A and B are shown apart, each in its own frame.
Chain A
Amino acid sequence: MITLNNVLFKWHKQQAKPTLSIPALNIADGEHVFLHGPSGSGKSTLLSLLAGINTANSGTVKLLNTDLAALSNRKRDVFRSDHIGYIFQNFNLLPYLSPLENVMLGCQFSKPRQKKALQQSASLEQEAARLLTALGLTTEHHQQNAANLSIGQQQRVAAARAFIGSPELIIADEPTSALDANNRTAFIELLFAQASIAGSTLVFVSHDESLQSLFNRSISLSDITEQVI
């Protein structure tokens, strides 16, 4: 699913020390990976490389056997929207859309994901409603303004948006940082269940190491990065 080989990344070319240096990283299909590391260790940088927002200065980043650096900007945009679902730390819902519309937005710009969503349900709206209900957002909240939802509810909407159209990779960037321990565990279990149904690989990033026991694999960024002096 994900293969990184001799990846070196610098924000600026003049930088003496690279921001990220990963000799090798392999994540298999369907794995639920917990990626952790202290603040400033390069977690977000790694995610930006996986999502194809930035490209490595050297080495290869392959997703689904596709070398992201070999794609043009436009093709990388298309690849990202077709194969990657993203859950942000602060959810990033559009406040003027309802939860249903926010979830549908997840596949509006990708034909393959729309197709997959329509294989699950008769319409995109029904699929969005199914995902929201599966993630614990009751139907009375489906049409209300997203800005009026609680943090927990917004989080469920953000997760449903990432899952719609069953993308092969779900990247969750510290989505539980605003939750208490009980809600955090419940939410992660919901994520696992949906990822399993969709057959998605889940890369969950957090600096909270107490969560690693919930995942079937845990990767410490400091273990996989090369120490450059």
Chain B
Amino acid sequence: MILIKLAYKSLLNRRGSAFLTLFTIAISVMLLLSIERVRVDAKSSFSNTISGTDLIVGARTGDIQLLLSSVFRIGHTNNGVSWQSYLFIKQQRGVAWTIPLSLGDSHKGQAVLGTSLDYFTHYKYGKKQPLTFTQGTAFSHLNEVVIGSEISSKLNYQLGDKVIISHGMGNTSFHHHDEDPFTVVGILKATGTPVDKTLHIPLAAIELIHGGGHSEHEHEHEHEHEHEHEHEHEHEHEQHNENLTGEPKQITAFLMGFDSPLYTLQVRRNINQYKPEALLAIMPGVTLRELWEMLSIVEKILLLFSSIVVLVSLLGMLTTLLASLNQRRRELAILRSVGARPWHLFSLISIESLLITLFGCLLGCGLFYGLMSIAAGFLQSHGGISVTISMLSHYELVLIGAIMAAGFIVGLIPATRAYFYSLTDGMSIKI
């Protein structure tokens, strides 16, 4: 007990250097915990880019290619799914909902997605969070567009602005559908997923701007009777949805939800063996995890870097303790003169390093929670990472335990030196 008191009082006496050492450890603990928490939450958020969707169905390619093209809007599939196949699969037993997706057009390099109104009710991300609007509503006419939060902030679009869609992807698309401008009617709340970078238009409008389905005249006609169209809101939702969906020849992919998870595997097998067309059904959660595994090298590098930061801070503590030890030979000799044995001094220095590491870890945890609460909003809106501010996980506690153990081991070096100093110095306090 006396040794703990002495160690504490001695550290307090050297509070400047002790606090700097402690703070260095605290910063490294904060970094390690933050990186670990962001890594775990990034993994979870990545897996939750799409949630609540049981299957994604597209033309037969690779699992990851289908996921990348349909969810992340990266790359594109060469083939689509015929409308007949879509309707056939949609009517299978257990299917609760489907969302058709038609990709391929763009606006200033940002993906344009043709879909149905079901997208705004059934599409979920994160922890089964639905899409919500910061302004406006979902499209109710063929010439209306709902934009993601990043499109709104980046391109400075407001409700009522006109948007021209280009054919194909990229910023320098040569073919603009100038004759078919869309009006922004809704802006979605930030999700941190590719939805933020997407412009959503009715599926039927995709056909329309490519010259299929409705004629141009019909489109114009629709414009002329916009006022009249307002009254059509009284029509049944399904009827309205059908008007906005149309009957395209083919779509890029579609999302499926089932009444019960039991249907998922069965329908998936049926789709993958579907004879009239070569289709592929993937379970997004599984494929997302496979994709994350491919990126695991990044998380390993992050963990390596934060471990190096911890190591450097512990070496800093070692340097400080060793440097101060020479100045403290007199203090140690005084303790020897009042009866402290060499092992007492060994224990004293070990306790000091343990105290520094312990308080460094505690302060580091405090800083970690502070940083997480400040950065949570930013990470969600800019990185799409939904950070959970909860108690330390078992693994995080193991990490802190490892730091404490490493701090103790590092502290043994100056402690051993103090032991031998005290043997050679004895009680001759002429240092």
Contact = CB atoms under 8 A, between A and B. Distances in A.
B9 A92 contact: no
A52 to B, nearest CB: 9
A161 B338 contact: yes
Nearest to A147: B13
A128 to B, nearest CB: 13
Contacts of A74: 341
A53 B13 contact: no
Nearest to B344: A109
A97 B340 contact: no
A78 B10 CA distance: 24
A185 to B, nearest CB: 26
A129 B10 CA distance: 22
A110 B339 contact: yes
B426 A109 contact: no
A109 B339 contact: yes
A96 to B, nearest CB: 4
B12 A96 contact: yes
Contact of B427 (A86, A105, A106): A86
Contact of A108 (B2, B10, B331, B427): B2
A48 interface: yes
Contacts of B344: 109
A74 B428 CA distance: 17
A123 to B, nearest CB: 14
A113 B344 CA distance: 17
Interface in B167-184: none
Nearest to B3: A108
B426 A53 contact: yes
A106 B338 contact: yes
A94 interface: yes
Given A94-B331, A95-B13, A109-B344, A53 B339 contact: no
A81 interface: yes
A73 B12 CA distance: 32
A97 B9 contact: yes
Interface in B1-32: 2, 9-10, 12-13
Contacts of B296: none
- By size class, the interface of chain B is 20 to 34
Nearest to B339: A81
Contacts of B333: 92
A169 B330 CA distance: 24
Interface string B319-363: 000000000001101110111111010000000000000000000
Interface in A57-85: 73-74, 77-78, 80-82
B340 A109 contact: yes
Contacts of B10: 96
B429 interface: yes
A53 B338 contact: no
Interface string A92-131: 1111110001000111111001000000000000000000
Contacts of A48: 426-428
Contacts of B423: 73
B334 A94 contact: yes
A68 to B, nearest CB: 14
Contacts of A161: 338
B428 A53 contact: yes
A109 B9 contact: no
Contacts of A113: 339
B9 A88 contact: no
A51 interface: yes
A30 B235 CA distance: 115
A53 B9 contact: no
A95 to B, nearest CB: 7
A94 to B, nearest CB: 6
Contacts of B334: 92-94
Contacts of A92: 330, 333-334, 337, 429
B320 to A, nearest CB: 17
Most chain A CB neighbours (cut-off 10 Å) among B335, B339, B342, B426: B339
Contacts of A82: 339
A105 B426 CA distance: 17
A86 B335 CA distance: 12
A86 B427 CA distance: 10
Contacts of B337: 86, 88, 92
A109 B338 contact: yes
A108 B13 contact: no
B362 to A, nearest CB: 22
Nearest to B343: A74
Nearest to B9: A96
Residue among A48, A92, A97, A161 with the most chain B CB within 10 A? A92
B338 A51 contact: no
6 contacts: A78-B341, A81-B340, A82-B339, A86-B427, A101-B9, A107-B339
Interface of A: 48, 51, 53-54, 73-74, 77-78, 80-82, 86, 88, 90, 92-97, 101, 105-110, 113, 161
Which 9 A-B residue pairs are closest in the complex by CB-CB distance?
A81-B339, A109-B339, A96-B13, A92-B334, A108-B2, A53-B426, A77-B341, A96-B9, A105-B338
Given A48-B428, A107-B339, 5 more contacts: A51-B427, A92-B334, A92-B429, A96-B13, A110-B339
